[in-house]
Amino acid sequence: MRILLLLNLGEVLASTQNQPKPQTACDSSKRAHAMRNKKTLLGLCKYDLAQKFGEKQVKIWRRSFDVRPPAVDEKSEYYPANDERYKDVEKKLLPKCESLEDCIQRVLPVWHEEIAAELKEGKTVLVSAHGNALRGFLKHLAKISDEDIVEVNLPTGIPIVCELDKELNLIRRYFLADEAVVKKEIQAIVDQGKARPLSVGRLGEKSA
């Protein structure tokens, strides 16, 4: 059996480094840069977006498979090409916006060329990334449908254990935390897309 651990830590890592919560991915890998830019939506909390555009639209932007949010302007400070961290990345590789479908195409080469190879050698692999990149990995591994992925939420800081066979087929997956804690954290993520927050997780507003 092979073990893969998925951990959503993007905003936690930024906070420990005295940096603002990232609007772009923290991973400097050219292919794993998996950000869903939201143009003028950037800088607004999800509650405000829900009040302005409606909860249904916000959920589509956050969780849909193939719907892209509005593209960020190239002059915006939020455009990755204007970020010093990505100065060595080809501009064409830096997205102005991304759907989950785009994100999956961006991260799967990392899976096939790096992660899968480590797993096949019998190593336990930990992948820490932006929540949407992890949703992409999980969709691929668990063969989650385009419709069902909308309801998949990955809490910040709670590892997901994926048990795989030798061919890297998923045997089972589970959160490495108490069930009550997981439910609370998932509900907090769901509530972020509502016009009025109903619950808050351990780390506040996380996991766009």
Binding residues: 46, 62-63, 131-132
The strand pairing partners of 162, in sequence order, are 4, 173
DSSP string, 101-114: HHHHHHHHHHIIII
Q: How many CA atoms lie within 13 A of 122 on its CB side?
A: 0
Other beta carbons within 10 angstroms of residue 148's beta carbon come to 12
Phi and psi (nearest 5°) for 61?
-65, -40
Phi and psi (nearest 5°) for 170?
-70, 125
- Whether residue 38 contacts residue 58, with contact meaning beta carbons closer than 8 Å, is answered with no
Q: What is the CA radius of gyration of the chain?
A: 17
HEC profile for 38-89?
CHHHCCCCHHHHHHHHCHHHHHHHHHCCCCCCCCCCCCCCCCHHHCHHHCCC
196 CB-contact burial (10 Å; exposed 0-12 / middle 13-18 / buried 19+): exposed
Annotated binding site for substrate: 46, 62-63, 131-132
